[in-house]
A and B are shown apart, each in its own frame.
Chain A
Amino acid sequence: MAKGIWIYADHAEGKLRKVSLEILSEARRLADKAGEEVAAVLLGSGVAGLAQTLGYYGADKVYLAEHDILKDYRVEPYSKVIADLISQNQPSIFLLGANINGRDLAPRVAARVKTGLAGDCTTLCINDQGLLQINRPVYAGKAYVDVVCPEARPQMATIRPNVMPLNAPDEAHKAEVINITPQVADMAIGVQIKEIVKDVSGMVDLTEADTIISGGRGMKGAENFAILEELAVLLKAAVGASRAAVDSGWRDQRFQVGQTGRVVSPKLYIACGISGAIQHLAGMRTSKVIVAINKDTEAPIFNIANYSIVGDLFKVVPVLTKEFKEKLSG
């Protein structure tokens, strides 16, 4: 019988991604209720050092696969190694972060081991039948769906970053490391990484940000985003944009929030000069606290904002930044 809750430990530049620790925390909570074991799957080259941290966050076991071929994430070898591991060990549940790698890897692994997958989940529970029941947004958060995987195993889900609370690390909790020899040496791999061009912006990425400050058409020009960036640096926030701002060429498309951009749920979302079209709301309506600054009292964004500031953003934002500066330094 399938047993154990597994997570995929995604990492970049020698560090575990925050989402990996979030899903590990969630796996630990589920496992404690069900009396099961938690295992993390760690692939890469020279990453053994990360295993300990996985233990602190709740992993009982770490399956460690190291190989030159696994140095950078690539879906073909990664999905093969993980699918092999799953076939050998038959876990009951397998969770991945719904970040870029996770959303690429999970469907490929699921198709390979022929199991059901629920993507970008926001809550999980074990239901009355003992099945993993997940809840996930569809139509960009305009509706939610509950999904189960009744027969096939493992029950797979990717989990949206920033929604699962982190456990406090417990340095007494040690993981047993199981070294495995990945069967990848003679694999035909169709994708070769030529180059990784880092963003020079140095800005916090939208997915992992606790605070997002977004600008829309009301920003009037690319150069004016400097006032949002100043506040963002202060609050360690990411800067997002409406599609109107992206289509005007003021911000890169990767920062677009909305139904056809990124769907985000930070603790705090500050919308500046954004009207609140349904496609924009779809991408940010699950934020914990929403602040909207708009000079139009009728702007639809005010219908969902916790704080509706009616005013000129060019007057409000600089003063708000000053106020934060004083409060945070004091």
Chain B
Amino acid sequence: MKLIACIKEVPDTATQIKINPAGTEIIKDGVEFIVNPYDEYAVEECLRIKEKFGEGEVIAVCMGPTRATEAIRKCLAMGVDRAVHLCDPAFEKSDTYATAKALAKAIEKTGFDLILCGKQAVDGDGCQVGAQIAELLGIPGVPLIIKLEISTDKKTAIAHRQVEGATEVVEVKLPALFTCQKGLNEARYPSLKGIMGAKKKEIKFFTPADLGEAPGSFGEAGSLARMVKLSLPPTRQGGRKMEGEPEEISKELVKSLMEQDKVI
């Protein structure tokens, strides 16, 4: 079985975001990059499926700058067998559609039986790429899974997914794509042996030409949605400090919320 995990490198969630004066991108100096937290669940789940069946190959697919090699190495250290890195200036500034197009092409070239993505990348918070890869490959896509069981004949899977106010249990024909939500598993830490071994594992680099496409198919030229500008949210000032007896505070607060703020 070829198990694909799509992984993206994103700024550490503790990062204070700063934006360049032109409002075109975030300032990356001093920013630490990590594997998108939801993508770690995808990697972990692929590893568990391989372990359970005692066969298969786990392949991480990542589109990102040269720097993303570090995130890829982490996945290899977790136990991923090999990686595909879409790394070329022509991929930069792709919208989710151009990203999904590139990833879908790379996955098609690599071959696949199962594709796992994170539910969203916590940088752009797009929440789109998984569904779009599934659409472009013409396979079922099931978002927000918290449980996945592959049948013994590997032809179907049962997945539990979160919907508003309920959990939906679905049966899915494979190959299919799933997006992973917190609760699916706990991602492992790379072991020392894993870290050492990762250095020897293969990372295959893809350019647009390797995907049989013109550079203009991706990046800004290949995108349908365009960024106009980036900005910071209005800063929020701390407000009224209330100390003292709970009774007094409560009286004052309830009155204020009901009469002044009118939020109750």
Contacts and interface: CB of A to CB of B under 8 A. Distances in A.
Given A138-B124, A308-B238, A115 B170 contact: no
B263 A108 contact: no
B135 A100 contact: no
B263 A139 contact: no
Interface string A123-146: 000000000010001111111111
Given A119-B128, A197-B166, A279-B14, A112 B123 contact: no
Contacts of A191: 140, 142, 170-173, 176
Interface string A45-72: 0000000000000000000000000000
Given A100-B164, A192-B170, A194-B169, A138 B247 contact: no
Contacts of B228: 133, 145-148
Interface string A101-133: 101101110111011111110000000000001
B127 A103 contact: yes
Contacts of B158: 194
Contacts, number: 264
- What secondary structure prevails in chain B residues at the interface with A? mixed
Nearest to A302: B238
A76 B140 contact: yes
Contacts of A259: 13, 122
Contact of B240 (A110, A197, A308): A308
Interface stretch (B46-54, B70-78, B253-261): B253-261
B226 A308 contact: no
Given A119-B126, A146-B229, A99 B238 contact: no
A167 interface: no
Interface residues of A, number: 92
A138 B247 CA distance: 40
A194 B233 contact: no
Contact of A305 (B129, B224, B239, B249): B239
B258 to A, nearest CB: 6
B37 A260 contact: yes
Contact of A193 (B19, B131, B169): B169
Contact of B263 (A143, A148, A150, A288): A288
Contacts of B237: 304
A194 B170 contact: yes
Contacts of B251: 323
Contacts of A138: 123-125, 230
Interface in B37-69: 37-38
Contacts of B182: 253, 256, 260-261
B100 interface: yes
- What secondary structure prevails in chain A residues at the interface with B? mixed
Contacts of A137: 125, 233
Nearest to B125: A138
A310 B162 contact: no
A140 B125 contact: yes
A107 B224 CA distance: 12
A241 B103 CA distance: 35
Nearest to A254: B162
B209 interface: no
B232 to A, nearest CB: 6
Given A111-B132, A279-B13, A199 B165 contact: yes
Contact of A147 (B123, B131, B227, B263): B227
A149 B225 contact: yes
A161 B229 CA distance: 23
B1 interface: no
A114 B224 contact: yes
Contacts of B124: 138, 145
A304 B142 CA distance: 37
B144 to A, nearest CB: 7
Interface stretch (A1-9, A172-180, A314-322): A314-322
Nearest to A253: B183
A120 B56 CA distance: 37
B264 interface: yes
B140 to A, nearest CB: 3
Given A107-B96, A118-B225, A278-B16, 14 more contacts: A104-B131, A139-B123, A142-B16, A142-B17, A147-B228, A190-B173, A263-B125, A279-B13, A304-B236, A307-B253, A316-B250, A319-B250, A320-B246, A320-B250
12 contacts: A112-B135, A119-B125, A139-B17, A140-B125, A145-B124, A148-B225, A148-B228, A190-B173, A282-B13, A316-B249, A320-B246, A320-B249
The 3 closest A-B pairs by CB, nearest first: A190-B140, A116-B225, A116-B224
